[in-house]
Amino acid sequence: MTCLECKKALSYIDHRNAMDTLGLELCSRHKGRIEKLIKLKRTPKEAILLYYGLKEVGIHPTLEWWDGKKSVDISISRVKLNIEIDTAYNLITHDQAIQNLEEAMHSFRNGFTTIRIPHILIKHYLKETVANIKGISESLKTNTKTI
């Protein structure tokens, strides 16, 4: 049992607290950072799970990336890929739909591709979602100059 961030050995209590709250093995310091991020930015827990899943397969994502207009849940800047986690996708209004389209246009103008992933997909199919994003990332890498 080690922290996913700092590789520090976890006590049973730290392990249990992090697993109960986030479903991840994090020390109290990194668990506190993630909880603060969730509170300040309203980052979905599924974005946190996906972030660590991507790190596990060798991708270097960034949580809550500022794209110049708004904060993006996850960004893989080397291949110019933004990932948004939809938590209320079944309750979308026409105003939200046009706002999503405008945000995607803004990202595209800056050379980024934005994909939206329903939170339920990450919750139930994390490994498959990570594998698909890795495939998308590799495809973008072959078609884009890396930074």
Residue-level pLDDT at 89: 63
Q: Kindly report, residue by residue over 114-124, the tens digit of the pLDDT.
A: 999 999 999 99
Average pLDDT for 113-136: 94
pTM score:
0.88
Cα 59-8-5 angle, rounded to 5 deg: 25
DSSP letter for 146, please.
Answer: -
CA torsion, ordered 90, 94, 97, 103, to nearest 10 deg: -150
Cβ proximity of 109 and 115 under 8 Å: no
Q: Kindly report, residue by residue over 79-116, the tens digit of the pLDDT.
A: 999 999 988 766 678 888 888 888 888 888 888 899 99
Please name the amino acid found at residue 75: S
Q: Kindly report, residue by residue over 44-86, the tens digit of the pLDDT.
A: 999 999 999 999 999 999 999 998 888 999 999 999 999 999 8
More confident residue, 96 or 145: 96
Domains of the chain in start order, with CATH, are 1-41 (no CATH), 44-143 (3.40.960.10)
Q: What are phi and psi of 113, to 5 degrees?
A: -100, 135
Q: Kindly report, residue by residue over 5-31, the tens digit of the pLDDT.
A: 999 999 999 999 999 999 999 999 999
Residue-level pLDDT at 72: 94
Residue-level pLDDT at 147: 52
Cβ proximity of 74 and 136 under 8 Å: no
**3-state helix, strand and coil shares in percent for the chain, rounded to the nearest 5:** 55, 15, 25
